[in-house]
Amino acid sequence: MLAKSAAQPQAMPPAGEAARRPRGRVPLGFLLAGIVVAGAVLYLVLANTGASAEYYLTIKELRTCRNCQARAVRVAGNVAPNSIVRAAGQPMHFTIVDGAQSMPVVYGGTVPDIFRAGIQVVVEGHLVSGTFQAQNLFAKCPSKFQAATPATSGSSG
């Protein structure tokens, strides 16, 4: 008879048994580091959202605001017809209207291409002696583009 060898191959455990093995616990240091990182990310998101989440005022709200003189604000309105005055090398002057309210605006920066009378704008700056001194001018883009109607020719061939 042959003697059994002492080095017999061991049988592999069934596939399901390896999945049922108890996992090791997460070290407390990793858990605390994860909480600190998540808290820092949450703080940065909230801090940056609050800083850029400015809304705009109406002309009436700006005139009744008590603490708006001390800080930059945004005001919305429509550019009044025949109110745009541009002189070479000078700031542009125009008037915005919102219902029955109107307010003169002075702006010396780059004017958006779509800026014209009747368009909705938001100006950012300070109210000084009844005139709004704008540092930024945002023109609202039209939400719909109307198709141009083709010109009809009067000639027949």
10-residue block means of pLDDT along the chain (157 residues)?
56 57 75 92 80 72 81 90 90 92 92 90 89 91 57 50
Nearest-angstrom CA–CA distance, 89 and 132: 19
CATH classification of the domain holding 113: 2.40.50.140
State residue 51's pLDDT score.
Answer: 54
Nearest-angstrom CA–CA distance, 24 and 34: 18
Nearest-angstrom CA–CA distance, 125 and 109: 12
Q: Is 31 inside a domain boundary?
A: no
Nearest-angstrom CA–CA distance, 63 and 101: 10
State residue 65's pLDDT score.
Answer: 83
Q: Is 13 inside a domain boundary?
A: no
State which residues form the domain around 131. 59-139
State residue 30's pLDDT score.
Answer: 87
The candidate with the shortest Cα–Cα distance to 122, out of 157, 100, 98, is 98
State residue 72's pLDDT score.
Answer: 85
Q: Is 20 inside a domain boundary?
A: no
CA angle 56, 60, 66 (to 5 degrees): 80
Q: Is 154 inside a domain boundary?
A: no
**Tens digit of each residue's pLDDT (9 = 90 or more) over 83-124:** 999 988 889 999 999 988 999 999 999 888 889 999 999 999
pTM equals 0.57
The candidate with the shortest Cα–Cα distance to 136, out of 106, 98, 113, is 106
Q: Is 103 inside a domain boundary?
A: yes
Q: Is 38 inside a domain boundary?
A: no
Number of separate domains in the chain: 1
State residue 36's pLDDT score.
Answer: 94
Q: At 29, give phi and psi (nearest 5°).
A: -60, -45
Q: Which two three-digit tokens encode residue 144?
A: 């719909």
Q: Is 9 inside a domain boundary?
A: no
Q: Is 6 inside a domain boundary?
A: no
